Amino acid sequence: MPDTPLTVLCVATYEKGAEFLRECKRQGCTVLLLTTEALKDLPSWPREAIDEVFAIPADISRDALLKGVSHVARTRRLDRIVALDDFDVETAALLREHLRVPGMGESTARYFRDKLAMRQRAHNQGILVPPFTSVVNDADVNAYLDGVPGPWLVKPRSQAAAIGIKKAETRDQVWQHVHDLGDMRSFSLLEHFVAGDIYHVDSIVWDRQVVFTAAHRYGSPPWTVAHQGGIFTTSTVDRASEHAQVLDALNRRLLDTLGMVRGVTHTEFIHGHDGRFYFLETAARVGGAFIVDVIAAATGLNLWHEWAKLEVAGEHGRYEVPAHREDYAGLVLSLARQEHPDTSGYDDPEIVQRIDLPHHAGLIVRSDSPATVQARLDDYARRFLEDFYASAPAPDRATH
């Protein structure tokens, strides 16, 4: 730990990161929260861990944001600025650059936020990605469609999860999606849809070295669950498997290529039906959808806590991954017809956590056997369809 307490400004325009805030406070930091006016009074913020809250309009301009945070910095020395969710990564980088606070700058932040930038960088360094193109120029789009067979995805460059993604089976559908974007088309990209199994690798990076990874495989791809319905599952990959070894190597190469120095990451790869792994996207944050809880169930490590320790250590401190388990864990999660679904009928000893969220049913299981975890998830996913399952249209943009 540093000799003097640090002041950490946490940027959260979505409600995320309560455990990060708590760990910063446990580490002796002064914790400041910068959030939106709509979120500042939420009772779920861990008030005991927050020294001050600053609120900004959701549509604040760049200059107004810089002036406002600079005003805060007149009387408070900001030692760290941390984005707690995807949507704040660029904002935090902007503030760091302006106030000359250590941490990821704007150029590197683009590689962990902009799906076009991260694809171009990875592709240029020889990492396999699905064929893609910008949709800025009509001739480029037509040339791409001439050379790359469908189906295709039109993806927002700076959204998260499956938000705003449109699938197209024909050339006309691609152009319809592009035209529907209007003046916002430059903020999207076009990509070949690769069918296969999607994996996520969650990492801790210290001093440019990946010091911890956890590889998991989704059941149905998140895009399929979001747009076509179904039960969301994810489970730890057998650490002795070839897939686990390949994913670990790919992830290390990617994060080095993109310039990650310190922090946590959530990266997705797809194992195509052609037998090859493709890079899909990455983010400088913990995984959403209770993935952090799944990793904690399997290993005992909470990535929110470890991330806070990394930030406190900074450029001149020391960090070591704590001793941890290497069990296996998995999550089954569904929208529920009931506001408070009753999962008491699920009573296997492998269940270690029940998801407490309105209109959601979810269970996390743990075992020393990946086969046992998968068997539980398969059984629960089937039963959830009858007991709880509900569906809702996928959002076109993120909601609070």
* Helix (H), strand (E) at residue 55: strand 52-56
Where residue 230 falls among pLDDT bands split at 50, 70, 90? Answer: confident
What are the tens digits of pLDDT across the range 127-155?
999 999 999 999 999 999 999 999 999 99
**What is the rounded (10 degree) CA torsion for 61, 16, 320, 234?**
-120
Which DSSP string do the residues of 218-229 spell out, in sequence order? ESS-HHHHHHH-
Say which amino acid occupies 304: W
Rounded Cα distance, 289 and 334, in Å? 11
Query: At residue 82, what is the residue type?
Result: V
Section 108-134 average pLDDT: 97
What SS3 state is found at 193? coil
Query: What is the Cα–Cα distance from 184 to 234, expressed in whole angstroms?
Result: 33
Mean pLDDT computed over every residue of the chain? 94
- Give the pLDDT confidence of 280-299 residue by residue, as tens digits: 999 999 998 899 999 999 99
- Residue 6 makes CB contacts below 8 A (sequence gap 6+) with 27, 28, 29, 30, 79, 80, 312, 314
**Span 379-392, pLDDT tens digits:** 999 999 999 999 87
Partners of 167 in beta bridges: 153
pLDDT band at 4 (very low <50, low <70, confident <90, very high): confident
Cα 145 to Cα 120, 139, 151, 266, 270, distances in angstroms: 18, 10, 10, 30, 22
pLDDT, position 259:
96
In 10-86, which ranges are continuous DSSP H helix? 18-26, 62-73
- Which pLDDT score, from 0 to 100, does residue 170 have? 97
**111-125, 232-246, 265-279, 384-398: least confidently modelled range:** 384-398
* Residues 124, 132 contacting (CB under 8 angstroms): no
- Asked if residue 399 has pLDDT above 80, the reply is no
Domains and their CATH numbers in the chain: 7-103 (3.40.50.20), 131-192 (3.30.1490.20), 196-387 (3.30.470.20)
Q: How confident is the model at residue 80 (pLDDT cuts 50, 70, 90)?
A: very high
Mean pLDDT, rounded, for 258-265: 96
pLDDT of 161 higher than 80: no
Residue 394: pLDDT band (50, 70, 90) is low
- Residue type at 231? I
Rounded mean pLDDT, 350-371: 97
Q: What's the token pair of residue 74? A: 């007149």
pLDDT for position 223: 67
**Cβ atoms within 10 A of the Cβ of 72, count?**
15
The pLDDT confidence band at residue 228, using thresholds 50, 70 and 90, is confident
Cα 229 to the center of its chain, rounded Å: 20
d(C-alpha 293, C-alpha 355), whole Å? 10
pLDDT of residue 18: 96
Residues in the chain: 400
pLDDT digits (tens, 9 = 90+) for 100-110: 999 999 999 99
Amino acid at 146: D
Torsion on CA atoms 125, 130, 133, 139, rounded to nearest 10: 120
Mean pLDDT of 50-76: 96
What is the mean pLDDT of the segment spanning 198-224? 92
pLDDT at 324 over 70: yes
